Amino acid sequence: MSSLRKLSVSAFLVFLSLTSSGGDHYRLKAGAGEAGVGYVCVMKNGFWSSFHNQATLAQNNSLSLGLNYENRFGLKELGTRTAGIRIPAGNASLGVVYSHFGYTDYRREMTGLACGLKLSDIISAGVQVDYYSEKTTDEYADNHSVTCEAGLLILPSENIRVGIHIFNPVPNSLRKLYMPSTLRIGAATNLNNSLFTGIEAEMSSGSKLIIRTGFEYEVMKRLWLRGGFGTNNNSFSFGLGYLTKIVQTDISFSTHEKLGVTSSVSFIFKIH
Amino acid sequence: MKKYVIIYLFIFFPFGSYGQITKLPEIIMNIAEELAADDNDPEAVAIYIERLYDLAENPVNVNSADENEVSRLFFLSDFQIKVLTDYVHSSGKIISVFELANLPGFDKETAEMMIRFISLDAKMKLNQDSVRLRSASLTNISIKPGNSDSTSLGSAWKILSKYKFTAGRLSGGFTIEKDPGEKFLTGKSPQPDFLSFNLAFRGSGTMRKFIVGDYSARFGQGTNINTGIRSGLSLTSPGYMSSKDEIKPYTSTDENNFFRGVAAEFDFRNLGLSLFYSNNYSDATLVSSGYSENYIENFYKAGIHSTSSQLLKKDAISDITCGLNLSYNFNNLRIGLTWSEDKFSLPVYSVENDPENIFDFKGYRNNLYSVYYNSFIKRILLYGEFSTNEYRKYSFVQGLSFRPSDRLTINFLFRDYSAGYMSFHGKGPGSSSSTSNEQGILANFTFEAAKHLFISGGCDNQYFPWLKYRCSIPSWGRKKELRVKFLPTDNLTIDASYSYSYSMVDSSQNRGIPQQKQVVTRSIKGTVRYALYDNLILGTRVDYKVAGPAVSKGTLLLQDINYRFRYIPVTLWFRYCLFSTDDWDSRIYTYENDLLYSFSVPALSGEGTRTYLMAKWEIKDIAELRVKYSTTSLIKGNSNSADTDEIKIQFRVIF
């Protein structure tokens, strides 16, 4: 029974790295809206984008709460549940995020505390401190780790947005467990009032460079159509978003060339 | 003991400094990376960077209209130097650096590159005549924690100390260096592992220059004498093809590529005469042949003496070099003659009966004779050089630079070096480290396609008529490059390039004549630099490379942030870089900002990250402190990583 569990956990860890969006599996990926544009969101305003690049937190001045669920390849064991809250505070905004991934025999939890600050009209910066906890059954050891991430958002002109984000810049010699680092750099523009397009490069230590591109089109008022493409696994994404008075609902689907479809849904409540 | 204390004081308590050094433009980084990627000339980057810092310290007075003065901008072509001096002669002084961009043969990119290294101050020349002592000294210490080798003779620290003074027409200085693992003091009468000094006089009359001590020299295209940067053409860079004749004080740290003795440069109206004599020691591997005397098996160029066997090679032979250079200027034509002789204290013989070495130099003495010219005919610059030795082996260089329009430059360079030609202190344009066994033709162009849009490209076809290192048959090589540069605003630069190289190497097989495999490397590089404010610059770069017969791939993504505080005199440079390459063949070179007069272009291979943070603190006008911490983290299978750290410290003071 124990060896069966070992096998299942090992197989699970293999799947863990096969995300449809690619890159570093430690790094939080949340938001069906963001998944819909292929995670081209390092420069994009949005509730969940704030946890992809904390500098964008400063661009949002509403108190909001979000819930997200992602399921990879139709396997319930590969589900991620995420919750977050964003609190405006003058020129700055604070954010708290919690994420739970896995099942009984293996689970990874992440808690993050973020702050974004508008430094000037064209530049914002943000940081986040993360606490990771990995729990496995039997003789596998539990792991705990603390790291940080930081980002910049640059608005060189009215229509152009540039985002830079570093995850885990801490040298691995300073920690007991190896944790990959990730650098994301992207630029986006609004081609017109209803069309957002962007391109992003991401690289994690131990992985190849990934280029992503995506768009978000406001089909009609409060309804968005999204699409994206990433060079890792030639992954296509698409999604829809709809905003009611206080709730924004997003759904998305992204493909993996061998393993199938990853689907997500998220709800964002604008409290104040 | 007393002399140790004096040396120690010089190194750890330097007492002088130069003024403000501006940052290097990114085009220089491109050239530095290109030079670093050329494995045949590892010292080229060091010399290049040092000369740029020299220029930043002593800017060129472009309004002097003196070709000798303007040609100190060594990255300009002869064509550009001529245009610049003619313009000042005919139109008067240049008032603004932006005026430069409108000169024939110049563009915005070149003008921006020059800004850091020129002065428009007409009084500058007069200042050179005033006797005012300016002393400068800097000390570098590099430490790699935990990186100690038990076989090394000395500590793992690297120490470099330089001192330079200028008093009117007189200048001088010395350089002391100890590489990691070397003993600081070596030899029977203990002295630093590398000690170099010079004293120079710069005249305005018949005697233009007189140097005692260590110096470098270059004449014509460098196939006879050139201990500096290789002259010639880059595939896409506009510069470093100047073929100026010069002797200059040696301040670099290459331990085996300079002259030690006396040199003088005279000027009799249109006639120039340079004389030089050097008696220097060189590193070499000696072999005892039993009955007869020792002989030189090969020259040891690395300059590292950290083990007992390496220390045995240090200064193993004496090398006496003498020569003269005569040049004459006609209106649009300059011709020159160079003769040099090298005499070694022991004979040189080939390593073994390897067919590759059949044409190698043998004996005590090497005499070389050269004739060269360059000529302007309207918009065409022609230049060439022919050199030969006593065995009628020759080198031949012929180049052409043509500007059919102010927005287009086309260059051609042909070279033919026979297999038996050998120049111990020469470095002609070409792809190999020795000016020997190579034929080739290079062509390139630079085109201002639209306002702020520059396209440049080039192709270099090489043929090696005899065997060479790692290739047991006559072989071919080819390099191609295309670069597009867009400068839409003053604070944004977008640069993209594609490069291709082809070469042949032996496949690894143990028996018989090895088969050759074709090594093709292709790479794409994109760079964006953006100045958000005058004190905040961001840079992003993406690289993709496919290399070798194994078609290994390499990718790199990096982010630079350069920030200068407004209210305190501190500047920060930060880089975060992620790379992933399948093997060493797909390695990627990245230029890094470093200490003054130092450079760092690490070759990144494997999978991991490279990060550095450098801080510069200018303590009023009297001192400057730079500290650089860099770390490379490599993933070593199964999610483990190995980190390599390095700390560099530099200190400069003015008195």
pLDDT of residue B365: 94
Burial track B161-176 (b if 16+ CB lie within 10 A, e otherwise): bbbbbbeeeebbbbbb
Q: Which two tokens stand for residue A200?
A: 């992003």
Could A172 and B542 be called an inter-chain contact, meaning their C-beta atoms sit closer than 8 Å? Answer: no
Among B144, B493, B545, B557, most A C-beta atoms within 10 A, so best to mutate, is B557
Cα(A118)–Cα(A166) distance, integer angstroms: 18
Cα(B61)–Cα(B119) distance, integer angstroms: 5
**Out of B532, B544, B608, closest to residue A205 by CB:** B608
pLDDT of residue B229: 75
Question: What CATH number should be reported for the domain holding residue A110?
Answer: 2.40.160.60
pLDDT band at residue B521 under the 50/70/90 scheme: very high
pLDDT band at residue B239 under the 50/70/90 scheme: very low
- The rounded mean pLDDT for chain B is 83
- With a pLDDT cut of 90, the percent of chain B lying above it is 33
| Chain B residues with beta carbon closer than 8 angstroms to that of A202 | 557
Could A183 and B607 be called an inter-chain contact, meaning their C-beta atoms sit closer than 8 Å? Answer: no
pLDDT of residue A128: 95
pTM over 0.90: no
Could A166 and B559 be called an inter-chain contact, meaning their C-beta atoms sit closer than 8 Å? Answer: yes
Q: What domain range includes position A126?
A: 2-270
Kindly tell me if the per-residue pLDDT of A17 is higher than 60. Answer: no
Of residues B499 and B640, more confidently modeled? B499
Kindly identify which residue of chain A lies nearest to residue B637, measuring between CA atoms.
A206
Q: Which two tokens stand for residue B398?
A: 């012929």
- With a pLDDT cut of 70, the percent of chain B lying above it is 86
CB B580 within 8 A of CB B554: yes
The CATH topology of domain B2-653 is: Maltoporin; Chain A (2.40.170)
| Chain B residues with beta carbon closer than 8 angstroms to that of A209 | 542, 544, 555-557, 580
CB A254 within 8 A of CB A232: no
Place of tokens 């409060």: A222
pLDDT of residue B283: 92
Kindly tell me if the per-residue pLDDT of A195 is higher than 50. Answer: yes
Who's near B43: CB < 8 A, 6+ residues apart?
Answer: B252, B254, B257
Give A196-224 pLDDT, tens digit per residue. 999 999 999 888 899 999 999 999 999 99
pLDDT band at residue B451 under the 50/70/90 scheme: confident
**Tally of domains within chain A:** 1
Could B611 and A169 be called an inter-chain contact, meaning their C-beta atoms sit closer than 8 Å? Answer: yes
Across A177-183, average pLDDT: 86
- With a pLDDT cut of 90, the percent of chain A lying above it is 54
Kindly tell me if the per-residue pLDDT of B114 is higher than 50. Answer: yes
Give B48-107 pLDDT, tens digit per residue. 777 777 787 778 888 887 877 888 887 787 778 888 888 888 888 888 777 887 787 777
Burial class (CB in 10 A: 0-12, 13-18, 19+), B89: exposed
Q: Which two tokens stand for residue B446?
A: 């630079």
pLDDT band at residue B30 under the 50/70/90 scheme: low
Kindly tell me if the per-residue pLDDT of B125 is higher than 70. Answer: no
Of residues B325 and B531, more confidently modeled? B325
Who's near B391: CB < 8 A, 6+ residues apart?
Answer: B420
Across A127-131, average pLDDT: 94
Give A232-254 pLDDT, tens digit per residue. 888 899 999 999 988 999 999 99
Q: Of the candidates B136, B195, B196, which has an alpha carbon nearest to the alpha carbon of residue B167?
A: B136
Could B643 and A172 be called an inter-chain contact, meaning their C-beta atoms sit closer than 8 Å? Answer: yes
Least confident range of B72-81, B168-177, B269-278: B72-81
The structural domains of chain B, with segments of one domain joined by +, span 2-653
B426 HSE (CA, 13 A, CB side):
35
Q: Of the candidates A59, A29, A24, which has an alpha carbon nearest to the alpha carbon of residue A41?
A: A29
Residue type present at position B108: K
Element holding B171 (H helix, E strand): strand B170-178
Kindly tell me if the per-residue pLDDT of B18 is higher than 50. Answer: no
Give B356-387 pLDDT, tens digit per residue. 888 888 889 999 999 999 888 877 888 899 99
pLDDT band at residue A87 under the 50/70/90 scheme: very high
B588 touches chain A (CB under 8 A): no
Cα(B174)–Cα(B16) distance, integer angstroms: 13
Q: What is the DSSP string of A125-149?
A: EEEEEEEEEEEESTTSPPEEEEEEE
Across B274-286, average pLDDT: 94
pLDDT of residue B138: 75
pLDDT band at residue B281 under the 50/70/90 scheme: very high
Place of tokens 């100047």: B242
pLDDT of residue B11: 35
A173 touches chain B (CB under 8 A): yes
